[in-house]
Structure 1
Amino acid sequence: MNGPAVHDAALPLRGDGGRVDWGRVRADFPLLMRQVHGKPLVYLDNANTSQKPLPVIAAQDEFYRRYNANVSRAVHALGTEATDAYEAARAKLAGFLNVRADELVLCSGTTFAINLVAYSWALPRLKEGDTILVSRMEHHANIVPWQLVAQRTGARIRVAELLPDGSLDLEGLYRAMTGEVKLLAVAHVSNVLGTVNPVREICREARRRGIVTVVDGSQAAPHMRLDVAAIGCDFYAITGHKMCGPTGTGALWARREHLEAMPPFIGGGEMIKEVSFEGTVFNDPPHKFEAGTPNIAGFVGLGAAVDYLQRLGMDNVAAREAGLLAHATEALQAVPGLRILGTAPGKAAVISFLVEGAHAHDMATLLDLEGVAVRSGQHCAHPLLQYFGVAATLRASLAFYNTHEEIDRFVEALLKVRRLLC
């Protein structure tokens, strides 16, 4: 057989009536079966990175075993198969986002994608007196690139603030969309608070004012059905490793007119049509922005991850995680002195919290000894935690393969750790 195989047997199975059998789904994730410190693992750090199902692992393994070659450079069979698989991943991801494949730049993830916009779109266009509007809840990847651009252009950063429940102050945001604002950077879903921003409405208001919009979709892509075309933004960035794909994968979607007008971010092979010492003719977008050998095996794996999620159904994923979030939120009320940051309606399955009298890092270390993996720290969102007046939080982030039983074990371990520390 030529080219990659399709691993249907390992894809999610449905029970009677077309409902997802979540127990069978969980069995597709081998890492979840391991023990940590002699105890069954409870993995609740999914906002950091998701675990990988068997079809993703198998797709990468098969690439290296059967058709490993570079893309877009060879006419031999292996090169053709590798190129076909790589471009198939682009097409699958475009379908997942509901965008055109020739508007989708494959890259290492959201950080690279936003830097591409910063240096290729913003840097040549912004000038002194212009303003970049950034929300308070942004990940550093959607703050620092704009600060670097502002330092080099004379533009300034303006912050869109929050309401006490962790939702975006939309009235304040729209008032801040004044004439000097040229670019708005906003997260679709907060990695700390779980707040789901109404990006379609926000982008519509920005578009009316001639403001270009950059949406960080890292925490949205793994958890909900996406229709980037309907959102109406100018740029949308995602990261593959948070949506059951390999690390070092992701994409930037951009309107075709932007891609046509933007200069290349980095130079090298593949992103050119012709090179001479007198000058270079660049390739057409999106290849113009894909210099060098990409993470081919990673994108083959990402294509398998997209197949997996599509087969599972993103509406099913969202409903499953909403149920897990409700259970966890209720169960955590049993922990004395616990405070949850971010209670916006309709939030994603992320819970950042504090326990009075205990430091987040100490609690995370002791929870690890109980087999529970949670995140502690500032979660690459220092300005957000400064807003709430805290130095660090614990963060439990859920995925569809987690279980209600795991949540109960997590809360039981949290109560035990609290007794030790408080």
Structure 2
Amino acid sequence: MMDAAIAATAPVTVEEILQAAELIKGAVLETPCLPAPRLSQLTGADVFVKYENMQVTGAFKERGALVKLASLDDGEKARGVIAVSAGNHAQGVAYHAGRLGIPATIVMPVLTPFVKISATRGYGAEVVLAGNTLAEAKAEADRLAEERNLVWVHPYDDAHVIRGQGTIALEMLAAQPDLDVLVVPVGGGGLIAGMATAAKAIKPSIEVIGVETVLYPGMWGAFYGKEVRCEGATIAEGIAVRDIGVLTTEIVRKTVDDILLVSESSIEQAINAYLTLQRTIAEGAGAAGLAGLLSERERFAGKRVGLVLCGGNIDPRLLSKIVVRELARDGKLVSIRIDTPDRPGVLGEIATVIGDLQGNVVDVEHHRLFLNVPAKGATLDVTFEAFDRPHGERIVAALREHGYGVRYLEIGERMD
């Protein structure tokens, strides 16, 4: 079983993390940790971002995977390794196993997006699709591990993996030694356990704060001794972990200062901020740290805060949807329903009112045949761009002044 494959249960030390840093040097990119003035302006903190989305596989998982793989003896390497993942861990293990000539089997749920399956296969791993969930995929991986005598590479609850992830904190504090706080996304806990161990040893005064989505508050529950439920569809699937690590929990309780829970909407806002303000791509899990700052601005105001953008592997279609939703939340994309008489020229009049006030119509749906529309009337669903919320409100007010009945719609809402 995977849980029995935890490589070591002794506490992870900063000396071991320093050794891990030497081991991965040249094989894993030392990503930049740079000031982010526009995020600082947005949050009120002095923000610095560690760009782990620049790794070859687009995420930090390479670090721990490589340290674990390098720890295997020749016999274990010849047997091959196995992992369960629907994303970044799969690619990190596959990439470095391929580099080291170690046979790798990755078990992924059948519903894993094809782009992730293809990328994992592209690094040379054998991909086995099994089950609709990670739990079901794990059951098949357990069977294969026993049948083929494969070595487990756990995504987080392994001392070697934790040491590898801790190298991020070493690099951040080398680049920005005056940081007051590290804000770290939390799933199973490997990233924050390694980073907190390294950071507290180097700079005992530094705060280390974890961030989870409210839908998967496993580490928060363990940290505060609360019973929690972990379920639901989250945009931060990379930290959607039901079963947090045993070793990681032990380390987090000793080294981490607090765990914050953030909403899905705040994660969406953070993804959009990285894209529009920093011109970089963050997946949901990668944006969780920034979501923590956005959710608790007063707590971080004036502090020098280090964020880990831990991954950038997001579906482009989902990213575009988030951008549209954030435009709507900001009042820059306005969707309205207008009741009109069914006569020639009405659509032109409405477009003229919007255009004269410098609004830009981007979508129109004209409804005549639905039974809830009067026989001599029509309904228009209009979406237009505005400079900001007050500008959009002025356009709506002008339409009403011209005698049109107008009500706001949620983006994507349509006729019943």
TM-score, normalized by the shorter chain, greater than 0.5: no
Give TM class, smaller chain: under 0.3
Q: With CA pairs under 8 Å and 6+ residues apart, which has the higher RCO, 1 or 2? A: 1
| Bigger Cα Rg | 2
TM-score normalised over the length of structure 2: 0.23
